[in-house]
């Protein structure tokens, strides 16, 4: 016995030690039972929601461009391939990680309201509650100014070469992918009578079907102007004149000066720590602060011990979402017009107090300090997110959107793109942080994300209106709490609460039935959606580790792929 017992203890210690080592290895190399593997490459990777856009970005990398060039190229192709999601009539935000500086740079290229668009003007038109989805919802598009700012500061290749893939696709045609064809059909029917829409997007009298070649020569001409003249090709000259003339014909007060004077803003990213990771977002006027606030609240609970997508973990995350979004609606707007208490909202002390208010047994259906009188179109979700990494480790996390599908649906003759309806996010109630004002930017839904720990760097984003901040938090938790790799973290089943009040919740059917039943007992009002529902967002991610190897991932909820750069085999 004296020999057997120590030997048994030693064997048990060895077994435990081996198990712990295996767990650590699995945390770094885990691959869940989902849908696809990560893309792994020594060179660059571009991950988008459309395979042809990813391929275009990867080709720009092969030609000697960097991650910034590749991101712009991919974004421009996305404007051809999925024009309901994004395009040069919309806005853009980006986080750039420059490896040589080991620093993040933030770009806010969200457009402002026209100088003449005031509460008084709208009241004279009978608009007092919310801006309808028409010409008054059009804010100055920021995407092209964003491209220009990114290219001027960080790009390597000439802009005309970067935009060449998109120009080629627009002029010669691009085959339409499956999910895009479905959305095009739905959105196209509702917008068919909008001025300029059918001529541009329903050329044969219907939405293009899967595999049908879609050509947009007007967009090709617009891209060529931008390729030759940069931002001035859009905000000045003949293209700007077309936009202003058309807008006036529809009843807008937009002026040439509203376009010519617009400039994007370089901003300092905001961040918080979650477990051992630092997570970064862009500051207001976007909703990124809600993702960080939600993570701060979630951090007060041992989610790892609860288990992934367990009842206890999901309940905490859903309640944290409500609390974070309540503060988002109460405090966030354009910081150039009002003081926004960013540091207070990101305080760990505030997170602890907010976490203490979560009842482990019951869902809260009304969370203060929400101003629930505001009307926000929380379901608008037509956005594209992409990310690119190059062989030097530079990363671009970029998001671009029309807001609703095809934005307003309004297309100025000869331009080839729809104008966004981002102005619908303004409040028309005086005295609020997000109240409409001339040259003010609305509260914005689209957010790029970034996270790092040690020598790991991850650019990520998940699209879908006010789904985005809560989807970011779930992605981060999948990695930090549950040891998933970036592909599994994107693919894992998600929930989304698209509204601000109430206990309604959309949840994917892959979440176990017994968990859904237990959530319902707590008071959550669940609506079951498909196993991989685009209502919970579509994401992409790239990652760099210390060895210099790059990884890419693309969400199975979209048509996309993470495509690696092919090296120049002629070089030695």
Helix (H) or strand (E) holding 487: helix 486-491
Nearest to 186 by CA among 201, 204, 171, 165: 201
How far is C-alpha 230 from the geometric centre of its chain's CA atoms? 25
As a whole number of angstroms, the distance between CA 501 and CA 483 comes to 32
C-alpha distances out from residue 218 to 173, 256, 340, 554, Å: 12, 21, 41, 30
- Three state DSSP letters for 308-320: CCCHHHHHHHHHH
pLDDT of residue 381: 54
Per-residue model confidence (pLDDT) at position 369: 56
DSSP E strands in 282-416: the ranges are: 382-389, 395-403
The two most distant CA atoms of the chain are separated, in Å, by: 96
**What separation in angstroms does the CA of 330 have from each of 239, 287, 370, 435?**
38, 12, 6, 12
Cβ atoms of 530 and 516 within 8 Å: the answer is no
Give the pairing of strands 39-41 and 395-403: unpaired
DSSP string, 404-435: STTTT----TTT-SPPP-GGGGSB-STTSTTB
Q: What residues does each domain of the chain span?
A: 45-266+381-425, 283-376+465-533
Sign of CA pseudo-dihedral 316, 322, 328, 330: negative
- How many helices and strands (H and E) does the chain possess? 21, 19
For residue 513 the two structure tokens come to: 């039935």
pLDDT string in tens for the chain (572-residue length): 343 443 333 333 343 333 333 432 343 344 555 678 999 999 999 999 999 999 999 999 999 999 999 999 999 999 999 999 999 999 999 999 999 999 999 999 999 999 999 999 999 999 999 999 999 999 999 999 999 999 999 999 999 999 999 999 999 999 999 999 999 999 888 999 999 999 999 998 999 999 999 999 999 999 999 999 999 999 999 999 999 999 999 999 999 999 999 999 999 999 999 999 999 999 999 999 999 999 999 999 999 999 999 999 999 999 999 999 999 989 999 999 989 999 999 999 999 999 999 999 999 998 875 332 343 444 455 689 999 999 999 999 999 999 999 999 999 999 999 999 999 999 999 999 999 999 999 999 999 999 999 999 999 999 988 999 999 999 999 999 999 999 999 999 999 999 998 999 999 999 999 999 999 999 999 999 999 999 999 999 999 999 999 999 999 999 999 999 998 877 65
Tell me the CA distances in angstroms from 207 to 92, 171, 198, one per residue in order: 26, 18, 9
CB atoms within 10 A of CB 177: 19
Report the candidate in 476, 474, 465, 458 with the shortest Cα–Cα distance to residue 443.
Answer: 465
Cβ contacts of 547 within 8 Å, gap of 6 or more: none
CA distance 69 to 64: 9
Residues noted as catalytic: 383
CATH number of 283-376+465-533: 1.10.246.130
Best CA proximity match to 88, nearest among 438, 384, 467: 384
Q: At what angle do helices 217-229 and 164-172 cross, to 10 degrees?
A: 160
- Residue 35's pLDDT is 75
- Tallying the residues shown for the chain, one arrives at 572
Question: Quick one: 371 exposed, middle or buried, by C-beta within 10 A (0-12, 13-18, 19+)?
Answer: middle
C-alpha angle with apex 409: 404 to 410, nearest 5 degrees?
135
DSSP letter assigned to residue 536: G
Q: What is the DSSP letter of 567?
A: P
Note whether 47 and 553 are within 8 A (CB): yes
Instruction: Estimate to the nearest angstrom the gap between the alpha carbon of 521 and the chain centroid.
Output: 32
Cis link prior to 544 (omega < 30° from 0)? no
What is the C-alpha separation between 199 and 412, in angstroms, rounded?
10
Alpha-carbon span 123 to 130, nearest angstrom: 11
The dihedral over CA atoms of 243, 245, 247, 248, expressed in degrees to the nearest 10, equals 160
């Amino acid at each position: 016995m004296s020999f057997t017992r120590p030997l048994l203890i030693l064997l048990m210690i060895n077994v435990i030690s081996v198990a712990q080592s295996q767990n650590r290895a699995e945390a770094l190399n885990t691959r869940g039972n989902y849908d696809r593997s990560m893309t792994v490459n020594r060179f660059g990777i571009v991950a988008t929601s459309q395979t042809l856009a990813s391929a275009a970005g990867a080709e720009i990398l092969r030609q000697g461009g960097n991650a910034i060039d590749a991101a712009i190229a991919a974004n421009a192709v996305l404007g051809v391939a999925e024009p309901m999601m994004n395009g040069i009539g919309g806005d853009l935000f980006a986080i750039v990680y420059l490896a040589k500086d080991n620093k993040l740079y933030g770009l806010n290229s969200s457009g402002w309201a026209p100088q003449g668009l005031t509460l008084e003007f709208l009241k004279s038109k009978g608009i007092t509650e919310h801006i309808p989805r028409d010409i008054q919802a059009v804010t100055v598009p920021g995407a092209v100014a964003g491209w220009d700012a990114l290219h001027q500061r960080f790009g390597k290749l000439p802009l005309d070469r970067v935009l060449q893939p998109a120009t080629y696709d627009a002029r010669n045609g691009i085959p339409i992918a499956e999910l895009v064809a479905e959305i095009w059909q739905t959105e196209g029917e509702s917008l068919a009578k909008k001025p300029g829409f059918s001529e541009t997007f329903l050329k044969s009298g219907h939405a293009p079907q899967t595999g049908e070649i879609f050509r947009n020569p007007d967009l090709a001409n617009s891209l060529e102007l931008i390729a030759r003249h940069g931002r001035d090709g859009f905000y000045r000259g003949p293209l700007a004149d077309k936009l202003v003339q058309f807008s006036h014909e529809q009843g807008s007060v937009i002026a040439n000066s509203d376009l010519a004077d617009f400039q994007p803003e370089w901003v300092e990213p905001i961040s918080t720590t979650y477990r051992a990771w630092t997570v970064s977002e862009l500051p207001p006027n976007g909703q990124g602060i809600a993702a960080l606030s939600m993570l701060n609240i979630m951090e007060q609970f041992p989610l790892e011990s609860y288990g992934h997508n367990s009842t206890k973990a999901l309940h905490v995350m859903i309640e944290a979402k409500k609390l974070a979004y309540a503060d988002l609606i109460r405090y966030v707007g354009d910081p150039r017009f009002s003081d926004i208490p960013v540091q207070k909202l990101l305080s760990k002390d505030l997170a602890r107090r907010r976490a203490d208010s979560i009842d482990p047994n019951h869902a809260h259906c009304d969370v203060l300090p929400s101003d629930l009188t505001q009307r926000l179109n929380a379901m608008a979700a037509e956005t594209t997110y992409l990310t690119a990494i190059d062989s030097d480790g530079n990363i671009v996390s970029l998001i671009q959107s029309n807001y609703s599908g095809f934005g307003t649906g309004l297309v100025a003759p000869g331009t080839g793109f729809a104008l966004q309806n981002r102005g619908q996010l303004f409040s028309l109630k005086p005295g609020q942080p997000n109240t409409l004002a001339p040259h003010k930017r609305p509260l914005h839904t689209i957010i790029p994300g970034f996270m790092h720990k040690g020598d790991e760097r991850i650019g990520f984003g998940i699209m879908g209106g006010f789904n985005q901040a809560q989807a970011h938090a779930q992605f981060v938790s999948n990695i930090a709490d549950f040891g998933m790799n970036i592909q599994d973290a994107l693919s894992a089943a998600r929930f989304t609460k698209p509204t601000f009040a109430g206990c309604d919740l959309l949840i994917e059917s892959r979440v176990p039935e017994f968990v859904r039943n237990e959530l319902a007992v707590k008071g959550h009002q669940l609506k079951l959606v498909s196993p991989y529902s685009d209502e919970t967002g579509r994401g992409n991610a790239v990652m760099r580790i210390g060895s210099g190897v790059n990884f890419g991932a693309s969400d199975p909820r979209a048509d996309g792929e993470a495509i690696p750069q092919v090296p120049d085999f002629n070089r030695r």
